[in-house]
Structure 1
Amino acid sequence: MGGSNYRSFRQVVLPLLASSSLCWSGLAAAQGEPDPSNPMGPAETERAAEDPQVPQQAPSSSGLGDIVVTAQRRAESLQKVPISITAVTSEALARAGVTDTQSLAVVTPGLQATSVRSAVVPFLRGIGTVNMTAGDEGATAVYVDGVLYSVAAANVFSLNNVERIEVLRGPQGTLFGRNAVGGLLHIITKDPSNRTQGSFEIGIANYETIFGSAYITGGLAPGVAADLAVYTTHQNEGWGRNVFLDVDQHYNRDVAARSKVAVELGTDATATISLDYSLGKSDIGSTRQPLPGRLSTGGVGPVGTIYDSAGEIPPLGRKEQYGVGLRVEWDVGDLAIQTISAYRNHKVDSNLDSDGTPLRVFSIEEEEAVTETFQQELLVNGSVGPVDYTMGLFYFYSLADYGAPIRSEVAATNNIFIDSSMETKSYSAFGQATFNVTDALRLTGGLRYTHDTRQIEGTITSLPGFPTPPGPGAVIGSTDRVPSDVRDRSWGKLTWRGVVDYEFSDDVMVFASISRGFKSGVFSVTAPTSPAVDPETLDAYEGGIKADLFGRTLRLNVSAFYYDYKNIQVTTIGSQGVPVLLNAAAGEFKGVDAELVYVAPVPVGNLQLRASFAVLDGAYESYPGALFYTPLPAGGNIPSIGDASGNTATQAPKFTSSVSFDYTLPLNNGGTAGVTATWAYNDGFFWDAQNRLREPSYNIVNGEVTYTFPDEMWKVRAFARNIFDDERFIYVSTGANGDTGAPAAPRTYGVAISRAF
């Protein structure tokens, strides 16, 4: 181990182990030593028996067991919910090499996880919004433990302490909060247990990376349980090099902690307090350079590999977020009542060289965005005769502050400072009821009314170099000069859902649904004097089948859908190089997605095979005012207005698939060996409505080999991701300054050792 790795080990792993040891000592003193005859991992076994919301998967030898999900805000079997859902446990995610939200697409058909300036922007079935600006929310929502993560940059985090992930396709705006037009990703973390137990892992990977995690849970007092999860990674060496500044780029360093305290408030009530904090430094998705074969303004082309650049400002992406939440659950007669209160704070400091060349064409240095949110939800579940119902109220508040100095040596009018803020208030009332017509036939209907108000304030002032007026600090634009009814907007919308489902048997169910999704209108803090874009609406028609076949050894879930999408919100790069929001007119999306899980009979050990695919046809039905760009021979692009009607929608690959196998083999010495491999394929997609910039097809292959010691407490693993080192981009941008891209990760590999107690 080299000197830099040793320093990283001291900085990262030793504090991690120390904090784990301190927590372990405290909890062990409160609860007593663990029973060595019952060694367990991080609480999965106990909670699977105690908590009906935990996925319960039977051993392979006895077929597939139920996975219990909360897609309809109550605990139900995955196979009984009339929604297209991918539900993956933490163990399956780890074996597939999915360690953060950016890599979820590997195991989820129809999901694109684009990385934009250190933010994750999910697209489900082609529905999403490249919303890197503060205060805007995506068309596909991200929730953690029932709390909406509305800031795109907040959606980049490791999947440590995760119990499971539920990916719901199609509009979910009836029962879930805001802007779940394309669907939502719901990340459910572990709840604390009264039994003292835990685990830790440390590992090392290429690019001089050290990583580690720890989890511990136990009882603090009668009726009080707590847990603590910590995670950290430190990548010393970047994937590439900035040849102009002679520094590494494309690196990731972060530390995160999450804790819950669950308190029993009597026999029928529980309060759970949660706290989390994370700090990340990464320029992944932010550092870019001209695409291969393209020239930026000034005639400068790419240098080195796709992982290199020659930008004139140092790469920087610093994300800090923290939050506190309170969930109270209690039973009142036949009613199950839940309230969720949550406050979140997210801050991003970043540098951006949009052209990735030594020439200062357009750059933002020391950009700052701070977003505070508060949400409150009341949820009631109950039954009246053959009717099961859910109803609730939801309130959401957001304040997004943005400040960015923009500088250019090429376009003098780009030397400006943007200072703006946007306030959002949202109120919703919703309800859904399921009528059990017979034991096999169910009818479901739901309504939600949402009222949103947004107000923007901001000024654009000149920086040195701006041609007129002379001198810095002069006001170029201000919302004070905009009519009040333009800078203060409100929208109201009724969304709905109707479903019929029928069970042919306990193992075969079919369903058909119709639903409407709504994404609120919004201002752009990067262009505060521009009018707000109109709300999106999406009408979805879907039918599917869910079946467990051949003695529950084969699970087959298939869905077909048709979307009518109106007023699509799109992001483009304006004349001054900043993101600008526009409405495309209409789009039409249709397709099929399917998932198959098979427990294969083998003489020795357990073998599980998984396969999934998504076929998508997404196009702009009408988009006459699209912004097109034509490359200039001397570099850069010339903008024009074109008609994108009939063009393929952005981020909408025609075909994606994932195939994996997971095999475990008991050894003669009492230990267990395991091997997992996952192959994800994407046949390519367009980055722009013009259909000029296309990401070619690519393959991602991940693999892992494990050995579990006979005591089932120690485990070692060796892993590799992107084994064949397939080169691709995770973000491509086009504008007047040229076509640029940010690369996805190259091949990474490493080893780790873990212990459960």
Structure 2
Amino acid sequence: MRSAYQLRSATIAIAFASVLLPFAAGAQEATEAARSDPAAATEIVVTAQRRAERSVDVPISLTTLGADQLATANARELSDIARVTPSLRFDKAAGFTQPTIRGIGTAVVTSGGGSNVGIYLDGFYSPNPLSANTQLLNIESVQVLKGPQGTLFGRNTTGGAILIQTGEPSHETSGQFKASYGRFNETQIQFYGTTGVVSGVAFDIEGLYNHGQGFQTNVLNGDDNIGEYNNYSVRSGLKFDIGDIGSLLLRYMHAEQHDPRPVISNTYVDPVLGVGAPFIAPPGSYVTDPDLVARSGPALFVSKSDVFQGTLKLDLGFADFTSYTQYRTENGDQSQDLDATGIPLFQIGIPVKNKTFSQELLLNSKAGGALQWTAGLFYFSNKDRYRTFADTNGISRDPTGPTRLGGSSTTTKSLAAFIDATYEITPQLFVTAGARYAKDKVTDAYYNVGAAEFPVPSISNDKVTPRFVLRFKPSEETSIYASYTQGYKAAVIDVGGSCQNPPDFACNPIEPEKVNAYEIGAKFDNRTVSLEAAGFYYDYKNLQVSSYLADGRANITNAASSEIYGVEGSLRLRVTSQFDLNAGASWVHARYKEFNNAPVYAPGAGAFRFVIPSGITLENTTMQRTPEFTGNVGASYRTDLGGGELQLSSNLYYTSEFYFGPSGIQFPQEGYEVLSARVQWTDPSDTYTLAVWGDNLTDNRYVTAVQYNSFGLGANWSAPITYGVELSARF
């Protein structure tokens, strides 16, 4: 087994090398082409420092993805960008999406828990992990910022931030329609349209509908539609031009998911623990085949969200002012079979209601001066309420009766002020300094026993997160930088776990996570060749870790300190006007330096098989969900055909071995690769496009999530090879 894994790793490494080695020679040729035709490719512009700048001038390690590269990798939802973003993973705990960057992520699922990676859509923060896996609609770009972003983006960005930018309404009437059909009856329909309403007012609307039957079959009744899903979203906007001084953009979005796939799991097989089903489960009541499940009742995951946003932009003369106002409600419900068998042992229902209000005021200096600065104020309020039920077959619940187990609720509030400034000492030397002060509170916290509420004392924290950067600019095309940044993940109240554990009913003190990050990097971009490389070191303390006690009770604690360091690089190369190449790779060494009372699963007695003993201390142990090596290679080739344009594109993603277990030593997933490809033809009028696409063309089967608890171990699997056709029209 090990030799096969090493052989496959070597094969993938050779494949990467075979593509990367010619780049050096091709880069020189492409550089000469860029000098003779500087408009041959577009310049990469990003907003990683809260203002529009050339990527080469931004001293932050980041991956920028445009619409073409997203299509090449068949990225249809946000989690798919991991295929083209080294050191990024998107994992799930049932329906909760949990991104990890360079080893910094979380497995905490509780009221007010939040993520370590901030997700921003058009400048607005999206805190709810139930709705983090956004369907990609009318996307202009996705930027993945790596490393703590505590100064400019605030709390809960210890791993980094993901910035999604979409198009705005336009007075010029245009639109697009796209429909695709693929294996497992996957049907997706998208549309977008924009036009002027009256002078100074523009309107747009977009929608998405996604349906399929899933790839798994329930062996208990032969149902091959157990994973059937129906998702849709509608988004509209009105943009008002306010003379020469600015604009006001109002948006509303409604989205619904009826998608049981995140909670459909079969039984996980651990190389040490064995089959992760309770020992009382007879053969035939559980399965381990990726395409099969054994489930006595239906699977449920639904979510509904309504989002209202207002963006006001004004030219104040001395600076540009932006106001971001947001109100969002997100209601989700899921029913998860914790024992992962077909016998009705324990199925838990978790309805979640989330309400968020945020207001941010941003000032940016005018471009061109020696001093460039950004200052802002941010207010955030989030009410997060969980309820828990012992679900019965057919998902029948009594809100106040015997099926009601409990629940929890928190209201999180944050008020912050920040400033970040860059001064040009000489035309080649720049210094950046910034800081953010934040006041965080968790109030109105309580847990339920049945329907009864038991209040928990509030907590509050103050935090200052600084940033300092030195950047040297040898030429307009090159930057070299060294940076220190700090980030933190706010403290939480463990209302879903230790607060309600007898006999003390005392909440574990959950301190904020803290990261001190040091990075050196270099960038080069002449519009034809784009190169980035960085080395980083993180001192990571007070990790918030979620686990279960031996009797099944939930528990969150602060793990001891961790150490992370590594190197990362990316390359984009326009070899000719028809042929583009891109590649990226990351090596991350992430270790718990000391982890006291680490949650480690072991065979147990009693009605259920797995327990977590206490008192174990781990040293120099790999961190959860952190492969040492990730990388991708992609290519796109365009040529004339029949008067139109034929485009061939492909992307290969690879990850080395990693562990799903919270202690980083259990539930391994061996290294695997994912190959996607796309062939499309656009007619001579540039109106119609016909495409054929394929995903997971190597037909690799790998675990996408391990649902670990004291009742059993469940595994969610990747889909097998999928393929389909797509037709789009522009007007």
- The TM-score with structure 2 as length reference comes to 0.88
State how far apart, in whole Å, the 2-side matches of 1:461 and 1:344 are: 28
Q: What code does the residue aligned with 2:196 have?
A: G
Q: Is the 8 A contact 2:435 2:465 kept in 1?
A: yes
CA deviation profile, 1:674-715 (whole Å, cap 9, x unmatched): 111100000120111150221111110011000101111011
Q: Alpha-carbon deviation of 1:670?
A: 1.4
The question of 1:427 aligning with 2:403 is answered no
Q: Alpha-carbon deviation of 1:222?
A: 0.7
The question of 1:675 aligning with 2:651 is answered no
2:240 — aligned with what? 263
Q: Alpha-carbon deviation of 1:461?
A: 3.0
1:591 — aligned with what? 566
State how far apart, in whole Å, the 1-side matches of 2:96 and 2:637 are: 34
State how far apart, in whole Å, the 2-side matches of 1:261 and 1:116 are: 37
Judging changes above 3 Å, is the alpha-carbon distance between structure 1 residues 374 and 175 closer, same or farther for their aligned structure 2 residues?
same
Give matches, 1:376-395, under 5 Å: 376-382=359-365, 386-395=370-379
CA deviation profile, 1:485-541 (whole Å, cap 9, x unmatched): xx2100111101000101111111100000110110012442353335110000000
Give matches, 1:86-485, under 5 Å: 86-235=63-212, 237-244=213-220, 246-247=222-223, 248-292=225-269, 293-300=274-281, 302-303=286-287, 305-365=289-349, 367-382=350-365, 386-406=370-390, 417-461=405-449, 479-480=454-455
State how far apart, in whole Å, the 1-side matches of 2:331 and 2:90 are: 21
The question of 1:566 aligning with 2:538 is answered no
Q: What code does the residue aligned with 1:244 have?
A: L
Q: What code does the residue aligned with 2:438 have?
A: T
State how far apart, in whole Å, the 2-side matches of 1:738 and 1:261 are: 50
State how far apart, in whole Å, the 1-side matches of 2:610 and 2:151 are: 43
Q: Is the 8 A contact 1:134 1:151 kept in 2?
A: no
The question of 1:691 aligning with 2:665 is answered yes
2:687 — aligned with what? 713
Give matches, 1:629-644, under 5 Å: 629-632=601-604, 636-641=609-614, 642-644=616-618
Q: Alpha-carbon deviation of 1:350?
A: 0.9
State how far apart, in whole Å, the 2-side matches of 1:720 and 1:280 are: 24
Q: What code does the residue aligned with 2:363 have?
A: V
Of 579-588 and 332-341, more deviation after overlay is shown by 579-588
Q: Is the 8 A contact 1:270 1:328 kept in 2?
A: yes
Q: What code does the residue aligned with 2:468 have?
A: G
Q: 2:722 aligns with which of 705, 729, 748?
A: 748
Structure 1: gaps of 5 or more residues: 1-56, 463-472
Q: What code does the residue aligned with 1:736 have?
A: S
Of 282-291 and 556-565, more deviation after overlay is shown by 282-291
State how far apart, in whole Å, the 2-side matches of 1:525 and 1:702 are: 43
Judging changes above 3 Å, is the alpha-carbon distance between structure 1 residues 724 and 579 closer, same or farther for their aligned structure 2 residues?
farther
Q: What code does the residue aligned with 1:566 have?
A: K
Q: Alpha-carbon deviation of 1:309?
A: 1.8
CA deviation profile, 1:214-256 (whole Å, cap 9, x unmatched): 0111111111111111111111x22102223543333432001
State how far apart, in whole Å, the 2-side matches of 1:153 and 1:221 are: 38
Q: Alpha-carbon deviation of 1:118?
A: 2.4
Q: Is the 8 A contact 2:309 2:326 kept in 1?
A: yes
1:737 — aligned with what? 711
Q: What code does the residue aligned with 2:359 have?
A: Q
Q: What code does the residue aligned with 1:242 have?
A: N
1:654 — aligned with what? 628
Q: Is the 8 A contact 1:61 1:606 kept in 2?
A: no
State how far apart, in whole Å, the 2-side matches of 1:397 and 1:130 are: 22
The 3-state SS of whatever aligns with 2:383 is strand
State how far apart, in whole Å, the 2-side matches of 1:499 and 1:747 are: 45
Of 115-124 and 500-509, more deviation after overlay is shown by 115-124
The 3-state SS of whatever aligns with 1:712 is coil
Q: Alpha-carbon deviation of 1:553?
A: 3.1
State how far apart, in whole Å, the 2-side matches of 1:717 and 1:132 are: 40
Q: Is the 8 A contact 2:95 2:334 kept in 1?
A: no
Q: 2:532 aligns with which of 539, 554, 557?
A: 557
1:80 — aligned with what? 57
CA-based RMSD of the aligned residues comes to: 2.3
Of 253-262 and 105-114, more deviation after overlay is shown by 253-262
CA deviation profile, 1:607-652 (whole Å, cap 9, x unmatched): 1011100100000011112121113599622321211221100011
State how far apart, in whole Å, the 1-side matches of 2:583 and 2:192 are: 31
State how far apart, in whole Å, the 1-side matches of 2:138 and 2:93 are: 25
Q: Alpha-carbon deviation of 1:189?
A: 1.0
State how far apart, in whole Å, the 2-side matches of 1:134 and 1:58 are: 55
Judging changes above 3 Å, is the alpha-carbon distance between structure 1 residues 563 and 684 closer, same or farther for their aligned structure 2 residues?
same
Identity %: 29
Q: Is the 8 A contact 2:248 2:310 kept in 1?
A: yes
Q: Alpha-carbon deviation of 1:63?
A: 4.2
Judging changes above 3 Å, is the alpha-carbon distance between structure 1 residues 343 and 532 closer, same or farther for their aligned structure 2 residues?
farther
Q: What code does the residue aligned with 1:444 have?
A: T
State how far apart, in whole Å, the 1-side matches of 2:106 and 2:237 are: 32
Judging changes above 3 Å, is the alpha-carbon distance between structure 1 residues 272 and 345 closer, same or farther for their aligned structure 2 residues?
same
State how far apart, in whole Å, the 2-side matches of 1:165 and 1:227 are: 20
State how far apart, in whole Å, the 1-side matches of 2:585 and 2:481 are: 20
State how far apart, in whole Å, the 1-side matches of 2:37 and 2:327 are: 41
The question of 1:618 aligning with 2:590 is answered yes
State how far apart, in whole Å, the 1-side matches of 2:205 and 2:316 are: 31
Q: Alpha-carbon deviation of 1:98?
A: 0.8
Q: What code does the residue aligned with 1:651 have?
A: R
Q: What code does the residue aligned with 1:84 have?
A: S
Judging changes above 3 Å, is the alpha-carbon distance between structure 1 residues 445 and 315 closer, same or farther for their aligned structure 2 residues?
same
Q: What code does the residue aligned with 1:294 have?
A: V
State how far apart, in whole Å, the 2-side matches of 1:459 and 1:632 are: 29
Judging changes above 3 Å, is the alpha-carbon distance between structure 1 residues 260 and 575 closer, same or farther for their aligned structure 2 residues?
farther
Q: Is the 8 A contact 2:420 2:432 kept in 1?
A: yes
Q: What code does the residue aligned with 1:687 have?
A: F
2:471 — aligned with what? 501
State how far apart, in whole Å, the 2-side matches of 1:119 and 1:749 are: 27
Q: Is the 8 A contact 2:378 2:415 kept in 1?
A: yes
Structure 2: gaps of 5 or more residues: 1-33, 394-401, 501-506
Q: Is the 8 A contact 2:550 2:613 kept in 1?
A: no
Q: Alpha-carbon deviation of 1:269?
A: 1.4
1:16 — aligned with what? none
Q: Is the 8 A contact 2:154 2:487 kept in 1?
A: no
2:15 — aligned with what? none
